[in-house]
């Protein structure tokens, strides 16, 4: 197997940094937009042959060192009985949100049967690419998932914070419900062929360090204990919590672009990191992309670094610039 990504995630010195992009099979690729004209987002992720085709688009364009399955963090809402849709320009909309303690789900369905299309996708990807690249699975973290199902205005994160203040026990119960499902889900992904798993608890960055330590850190540890392949934790705006993220049980701490790579490496010591080019830099000219990418690589050092963006790739990014980003990593010789 091409294990460059796996080795870097374990903290090993690698001959060059492995590279992939968050949201790499997305709307910046013309063929993706063509496919989405024929399928809604949920239809695309729930149809394994369509999801496979979308996942493979970046591989055909620039062969990254990891293929992240085309799916969504909200798939785990289904075993808990939530109904959701994705509205263009709005994002996720949950039709039966949690508005009070009585709405917190008491039990969950079976992940392997309720989200079996994800397992089928991973199996198809393994058959398609064999050992030529690492297959990346992922899941949402409990705080981020909870933030989407509580109340309205999900992008402000205010409803979930209000819910925590007014219903602290129900808040814990909701995080617990998501944690149980995510534990099962990540183990299922590994069983079906994922070589690496990333947990996106993106919105946990809005928490104070004390709240993260009390409410979320123990749950992250449970989730990462359920993953027996290299794992990555990603929290947007993690400043002030890097040391706590290193205690989460994840093998790799993902860094967004607001964190200086050299400072993070100094603070985290031997803990491997992922990131963290500002996605907006890919909107510049190719030479600018190449220069800024090299700066990240140099700051990160020779071991324990997975090159990535500091967040998802922007939909207006030229495909050529995404290719330059990947090729810059492949040009490194150590």
**For position 284, what pLDDT does the model report?**
98
CB 332: neighbour CB atoms within 10 A?
17
Task: Identify the segments of the chain with pLDDT beneath 50.
Answer: 1
Backbone angles phi, psi at 19, to 5 degrees: -145, 135
Q: What gap in Å lies between CA 90 and CA 45, rounded to an integer?
A: 19
Radius of gyration of the chain (CA): 19
Whether 204 and 144 have beta carbons less than 8 Å apart is answered as: yes
User: How, if at all, do strands 91-94 and 84-87 pair?
Assistant: antiparallel
Q: What is the pLDDT at residue 86?
A: 80
Q: What is the pLDDT of residue 132?
A: 95
């Amino acid at each position: 197997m091409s294990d460059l990504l796996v080795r870097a995630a374990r903290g090993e010195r690698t001959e060059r940094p492995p590279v992939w992009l968050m949201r790499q099979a997305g709307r910046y690729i013309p063929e993706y937009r063509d496919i989405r004209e024929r399928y809604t987002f949920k239809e695309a992720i729930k149809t394994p042959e369509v999801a496979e085709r979308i996942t493979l688009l970046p591989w055909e364009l620039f062969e990254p060192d990891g293929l992240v399955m085309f799916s969504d963090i909200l798939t785990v809402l289904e075993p808990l009985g939530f109904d959701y849709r994705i509205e263009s320009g709005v994002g996720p909309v949950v039709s039966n949100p949690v508005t009070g303690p009585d709405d917190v789900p008491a039990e969950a369905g079976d992940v392997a049967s309720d989200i079996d299309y994800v397992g089928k996708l991973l199996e198809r990807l393994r058959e398609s690419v064999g050992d030529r690249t690492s297959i990346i699975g992922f899941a949402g973290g409990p705080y981020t998932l909870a933030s989407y199902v509580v109340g309205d205005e999900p992008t402000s994160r205010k409803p979930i914070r209000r819910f925590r203040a007014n219903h602290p026990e129900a808040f814990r119960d909701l995080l617990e419900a998501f944690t149980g499902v995510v534990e099962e889900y990540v183990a299922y992904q590994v069983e079906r062929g994922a070589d690496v798993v990333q947990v996106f608890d993106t919105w946990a960055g809005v928490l104070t360090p004390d709240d993260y330590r009390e409410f979320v850190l123990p749950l992250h540890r449970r989730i990462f204990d359920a993953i027996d392949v290299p794992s990555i934790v990603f929290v947007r705006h993690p400043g002030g919590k890097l040391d706590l993220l290193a205690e989460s049980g994840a093998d790799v701490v993902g860094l967004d672009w607001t964190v200086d790579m050299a400072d993070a490496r100094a603070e985290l010591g031997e803990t491997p990191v992922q990131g963290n080019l500002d996605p907006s830099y890919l909107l510049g000219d190719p030479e600018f992309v190449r220069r800024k990418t090299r700066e990240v690589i140099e700051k990160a050092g020779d071991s324990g670094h997975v090159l990535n963006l500091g967040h998802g790739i922007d939909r207006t990014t030229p495909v050529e610039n995404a290719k330059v980003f990947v090729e810059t990593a492949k040009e490194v010789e150590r």
